Every structure is written in structure tokens, then in C-alpha cells.
Structure 1
Amino acid sequence: MIRLATVIDTFEADFLAQYRDQLTPDHYRALAAMKHCRTQASPMMQVKCTACEHQKLVPHSCGHRHCPHCQHHESQQWLERQLKKQVPAEYFLLTFTLPAEFRTLAWAHQNVVYDLLMSCSWETVRTFSQNDKPLQGTPGATAVLHTNTRRLDYHPHVHLVMPAAVVDGKQKQWRTKPRGKAKGGYLFNHKALAKVFRAKILAAIETAGLTLPARYPQEWVVDCKSVGSGESALIYLGRYLYRGVIQENDIVACANGQVSFRYRNAKTTRRERRTVSGAQFLWLVLQHVLPKGFRRARNFGFLHPNCKHVIALLHVLLKCVPGQTLAWVKQRAPILCTCCGAVMAIVRTRIPSPFTGQLPISIAAEGNP
């Protein structure tokens, strides 16, 4: 496995020379964090064996949400929270894609456009749920923003995982959509979803005071497919939620000024390889760093964190035990003693490292830690 920190060490100078004009403070912070993740330059934690009293210092992970080398535990915690909120209904995965003509606008105003992309996606499914004859109520959805394709190109889109069910607050009823005769179930017409989504986001962009592109397509793309109980879709979304856009075991080569990585082609489902220069590879990774403080995962409707009592009541009334699905969740791997193999306990954290390392020049210049 080739670590991202190794790639940064090798190509950082070339990357900064070529892409400095496109970088923001968020990019510099991510670059510095991932470069020093779990190295001798990062803070240390002291661990002690519970059996033989052996002690040692272990480097901290950087904790950056875009680092592929850490945040595994946070991803598992998020997945566990979502699985605990499952309800007995057929789940659907909806994908709302922003056309290519809007990517320049999205890049220039990331906070605004990403927020509108998520809110308009939710408003679209909420409108359809309220107007749908079998449902007629408020749905629940888990939304995750992705900005990348599997080839790591810039491609903003939102995934929504939602059960075909609603809560009618006025009538105090729980309604689910009956399964259709078609294989895989049916929720809403994807072409109708695309039309409403298009109208909502165009109006929202204009209301926000942004200028629409001179040209954009009349027909947009929204995908809607059944995902059964929803477990597989939630696992897929959680995989890259806190761990960047690429797994380190997919970086297969780093030599001769180039980096090769593998990905799965969505159309053919076959593994393919892409080779680019080292500087371009770092840009492909770092261009997907989100603005500081932006929440890329959000819950809406009756799945919102403020509706915990509603979920608990539904579980009782519907005799649903979501905990049975938590076998998917992996526990955090313990630190084992190299002497006897026993579990080691953390006794002290954030010990300054004697190897401070060098931060990128632009970071030091801006006074960032």
C-alpha cells in the first residue's frame, strides 16, 4: 500500500508550483495534515500494556476528515447512528446531479451552491412525498454530498437514502408506499423528479444573487432506485464520508513522476487504472476538500436528530428492532502489545513530537497552526 503522505512528500513542490493560484487555506490545511498523519512529526500518545507494563509512544492520526488514513472510527460511528434509525420500509437511493455547465459556478461559490444542492434535493423529495397519493406526509432522508466521480474528477452531486414512508403529523399516521409489481419497487418518476429539482435549484441560485450560466441543458438527471432495507446504500455512503475520496490501497504505483490509482467503472463494474502526473494526482484529491465547517452529511424530515422520540415511538409501534443490522459495524481495532500481544491502554495523548517537521510555506505565511 502506498500512503498518501508519501505521495505528498514526493510531489508537494511540483504541486505547489503548478496549482498555487487555485489553492485556498482549506487546501493548505488539508495538505499539511495529511502529510504528517501518523508520522514522527505528528503529536504522540503514550500507550501502556495491560498485562506486561510495556509502554511506547504511538503517532496520532491527523484527524482531518479528508484523510484516507484515518477517521475510520468516525465513519463507523456515523453508520451505526444511521442503522439505528432504520424503519420497516423499502429504501431508495436517489442521486441528484448538477449539470457540467454549473461546475464553474459551484467551484467559485462552494458554500452556497453545495448548500443549495442539498436543500433543493430534499425539498424535491419532500414535495413529491406530500403530493403522492399513497404517502401524503413528511418523509425522512439521509443526504450526503459527493463532489467526485470514481475517476476523481470534479462532479458535484447529492445522494439521498430514504424509506418509502412518511409521517403525517396532523393525522398522526405512519404511511408506507406499497411495493409495485415492477422488480425492485417504485417510488417516484425520475424524469418528473429532475424537472422539479431543476426548477427549484435555478430559482434558488437566482435568489442567492448568483449568475446562472449562459447555457445549460433543459433535461437534467436524477436517478432513483430501490436499495432494499437501505443497509448497502448507507455503507456505501459512509465509506467515503470521513476518509477522503480515495482509499490508500487503491494507489497502486508512484514512480517516474507519475501516480497510478485504480477505480471501479460504474458502467462496466470492472476495475480500471488511471495514471497522471504526481502534481495532478494531488490536485485530483485536494480539489474535493470541502470548505471548513460545511456539513456534507445531513438528515431531514423524521430522520432529523431532533426527531429521536419519533423514531423511538415508531420502533415500538411497528415492532422494529434495528439493532439486528449492526453486525455490519466494525469495532475500532485495539493497539496490541508487541511483547505479549495483550491490549494496550492509552494513558496520555497529544504529547508534542520532537520532530516538528516543516509546514508548507503558504501555511506559515498565513499564520495557520
Structure 2
Amino acid sequence: MRSAFEVAGILRRHGASYRRENAGHLGRGGRRVMAAIEACRTPRLGGHVDACDDCGLTRVSYNSCRNRHCPKCQGTARKQWVAARIADLLPVPYFHAVFTLPPAVAEIAFQTKAVVYALLMRISAETLQTIAANPRWLGAEIGVTAVLHTWGQAMTHHPHVHCVVPGGGLSPDRSTWIACRPDFFLPVRVLSRLFRRLFLTALAKAFAQGELHFFNDLAHLNDAAVFTRHLTQSRRIEWVVYAKPPFGGPDQVLACLGRYTHRVAIANSHIVELDDDHVAFRWKDYRRNECDREKIMCLHTHEFIRRFLLHLLPAGFHRMRHFGFLANSHRRDRIALCRMLLGQQSPPGGQSHSSETQRGKSYECPDCRRPMRRTGINIPPVAPPRPSSFRCDTS
């Protein structure tokens, strides 16, 4: 069921005033994303006519913006991406680990997104691979699917990486599959310490190479001595690495991947109210008891838009990456080898891929619930009206 309130509706209603108020601070990327979401599934992008052969209903379907920050455009992309991952699943338990940056490093990440976000993804996977390769813990080459998230429940800046990992890996000579212990993958404390050391070392190296530049409240970090002291303080605190219990089966693995891979800062379904000045949305406070976690937060519309735009990714940045035997350069061959060593001769769910993909390309008739089809009639885009040049001078 479609939500009564949407991010697109908020931007259409309040985006112009937000642009005027923040003209000196809103960059080209933010303006481009706002414009794309505002135009999504409207006459501005054109469309086509769909028809139902059973009841004869016809309706216009306007084109999607396909922007990766648009909440409405992620559903189909998620289905197709998850369907493509079905063939990669192995008949082993899967584990879920989360690597989070502490606040002092997260503020650095916000001003140097491209560099620090890439480090966060790479170091998270490297930490898992290094500990897993140690014979004391597993002694195997593992595969990692890493997904970057930059938001917390209240849309504040909270960079962290979700890693989904098969429970085992290939032996060093790739002749056998080494399984992890039941219900246990790798020790969290060991992961946390190595993650902290590797990340701070890489961050210091990036600063020495001139890849980090700071401004406004963090301008003082451009001084090498100050930056070093800042990192020293971060070494003295515990970094959060969370390892969840293994998934119950392949369906849960796919549900997790679908839930994390194509999410944006807020789903339309979380927005519960909108008026001329405020937006209210549901969020979870994980510091409270489970029965008392869900709350309603009310923000001024401009503050809501500001928080939404905090999570725009740098152009060309890939927030889903694969490492180890799941790396794109050799994934097909390595998965085939893993499947052979595990005694699984054929990939599961081959037909599910085609059917799921097909469902993502069509929708049901709202009257008779039969599939709609494209008629071949296209609707050209309609340009938005230009501001009037008329000026009334009453002087």
C-alpha cells in the first residue's frame, strides 16, 4: 500500500523555499537530487500507457527518476538486485556484522565523504578477512558483501557498514571448505581492536598524502599536530563492532540483503504526517526497552530536508561492494568452486530469478488484479513552467 505522505511530496511543497533559504550552502549535487525526486513519476519525465486485457482498464504510468536517493525508485532495483544474488547463495549459515565509526571520526567522514566512506568499507572487509585468515580463528579465505549506511533512526549522520558473510571459507590451497563453529563466526572484541587500528592507520596515511581537507568547525584539523592528537583520542575509546546471530536460512539472507542494500535515509512508509511547517515520522530508539522503542519525531520541514540531504553520496560512489571470494573479478569461479566443495552441484533458485525480475517490470490491474501490459503508447516529457517575467511596479 502506497504511503499517504512521501519525500517527493515534501520536496515539491517545501523544496523551493528550502533552496531560497539555503542558496549559499546547497551544492549542485543536492539541487540535482531534489529536482530528480520532485519530478519522479510526474509528467515532467514523460511516461507510457498500460492496459489490462481482461477488464479493458487503461492508465498512464509516469517514468521514474531512478535516482539512488529516491525512496520510490528503490523497490524495483532492490528486487532485481536480490534476484541476481540468489545464484550466489551457498548452503551454509550466514552471519551479519556491523562496523560503526565513533562520533569523533564520523564528523571527519562527513566533510571528506568520498575518502573516508571508501576507507570504512575497505577496512571493515579487511578486518573480517584478516581475522578469518588467522588459523586460530578460522584459517580460511572468506567472502564479504558490504553495504554502507550513513544514517541513524532519526536521520542523523551515523556512518556504519553492514557486512553479510558466509559462515566459512576456502582453505589456503583452495582444496577444501572450512566451516566456522556453529552459531559463532569471529570474536567481536578482536574484530573491534583490529578495525580501530587499521582504520586510524589508513586515515593518518590519507591525511599525510593530502587527501583530507577540513573547513568550518573542523578547520583546525588541517594542522598536522592537531589532527594527530584527534586520532590519539579516538584510539583510547572502544569502537563498536556488532555481530548478530546467524540467519535462519536463505530466505532470511535475501530478506536482509534486500532490507539493507537499497535503503535510503527514510522510507516513505515511515512518514505519518505533513503540514505547512512540520513533518512527523516514525523512528526507533534502541536505547529503550523493545516494547517502548517506536516513537514519533516531529521536525520543521526545512530541518527534515536538511537531514535527508546529509546522506547524499559522492558522485560515482558504490555503496555496495564485494570482497574476498565474492569479489567481482572472480566471483563466478570462486562460487562455483565453493559449491563443488560443499557438494552443491547447481545454483538454487534459477527460476526465481526470472519470475522475480518479471514481477519487478509489471504491476497488477487495480480493478481485476490481472497483470497490466504496456500498449506502446508513449507520453513525452512535459517541461515545468518557467517563472513569469511579468513584474508589477507600483512605485
Q: What SS does structure 2 have at the residue aligned with 1:84?
A: helix
**Structure 2 partner of 1:104:** 107
CA distance in 2: counterparts of 1:96 and 1:325, whole angstroms: 35
Shift of 1:113: 0.5
Q: How big is each residue's C-alpha offset from its partner over 1:271-309, in whole Å with a ceiling of 9 and x where there is no partner?
A: 211110000111111211111211101111112232212
Shift of 1:55: 5.3
| Residues 341 and 119 (structure 1), Cα distance of their counterparts in 2 relative to 1, 3 Å cut | closer
For the pair 1:345 / 2:373, whether they are aligned, the reply is yes
Q: How big is each residue's C-alpha offset from its partner over 1:185-231, in whole Å with a ceiling of 9 and x where there is no partner?
A: 22222121111111111111122223647242522111112222464
Q: How big is each residue's C-alpha offset from its partner over 1:111-144, in whole Å with a ceiling of 9 and x where there is no partner?
A: 1100000000111111101113362121001100
**Structure 1 partner of 2:85:** 82
**Structure 1 partner of 2:234:** 216
Give the AA of the match of 2:308: V
| Residues 102 and 350 (structure 1), Cα distance of their counterparts in 2 relative to 1, 3 Å cut | farther
| Residues 171 and 258 (structure 1), Cα distance of their counterparts in 2 relative to 1, 3 Å cut | closer
**Structure 2 partner of 1:239:** 259
Equivalent pair of 1:67/1:243 in contact (CA under 8 Å):
no
Which stretch of the first structure deviates more once superposed, 282-291 or 153-162? 282-291
**Structure 2 partner of 1:251:** 271
Q: Once the two structures are aligned, what percentage of the paired residues are identical?
A: 30
Shift of 1:69: 1.3
Tell me the number of residue pairs that the alignment of Structure 1 and Structure 2 aligns: 354
| Residues 28 and 240 (structure 1), Cα distance of their counterparts in 2 relative to 1, 3 Å cut | farther
For the pair 1:323 / 2:356, whether they are aligned, the reply is no
List aligned pairs for 1:1-369, cutoff 5 A: 1-50=4-53, 56-133=59-136, 135-179=138-182, 185-209=183-207, 210=212, 212=227, 214=230, 215-216=233-234, 218=236, 219-228=238-247, 229=249, 231-232=251-252, 234-267=254-287, 268-269=289-290, 270-305=293-328, 306-320=330-344, 322-323=348-349, 331-332=359-360, 334-336=362-364, 342-348=370-376, 351-356=379-384
CA distance in 2: counterparts of 1:311 and 1:293, whole angstroms: 27
Shift of 1:4: 1.6
Shift of 1:45: 2.1
Q: Which has the higher helix share?
A: 2
Give the AA of the match of 1:259: V
Give the AA of the match of 2:374: I
Larger Rg: 2
Shift of 1:54: 6.4
Shift of 1:339: 7.8
| Residues 160 and 326 (structure 1), Cα distance of their counterparts in 2 relative to 1, 3 Å cut | farther
TM-score by length of 2: 0.80
Q: What SS does structure 1 have at the residue aligned with 2:242?
A: strand
CA distance in 1: counterparts of 2:374 and 2:351, whole angstroms: 30
Shift of 1:50: 4.3
CA distance in 2: counterparts of 1:338 and 1:177, whole angstroms: 49
Q: How big is each residue's C-alpha offset from its partner over 1:221-242, in whole Å with a ceiling of 9 and x where there is no partner?
A: 1111222246435423423533
Q: What SS does structure 2 have at the residue aligned with 1:157?
A: strand
Give the AA of the match of 2:184: Y
CA distance in 1: counterparts of 2:245 and 2:351, whole angstroms: 18
| Residues 84 and 21 (structure 1), Cα distance of their counterparts in 2 relative to 1, 3 Å cut | farther
Which stretch of the first structure deviates more once superposed, 56-65 or 106-115? 56-65
Unaligned runs of 5+ in 1: 180-184, 360-369
Shift of 1:162: 0.5
CA distance in 1: counterparts of 2:309 and 2:75, whole angstroms: 19
CA distance in 2: counterparts of 1:53 and 1:261, whole angstroms: 39
Cα root mean square deviation, aligned:
2.9
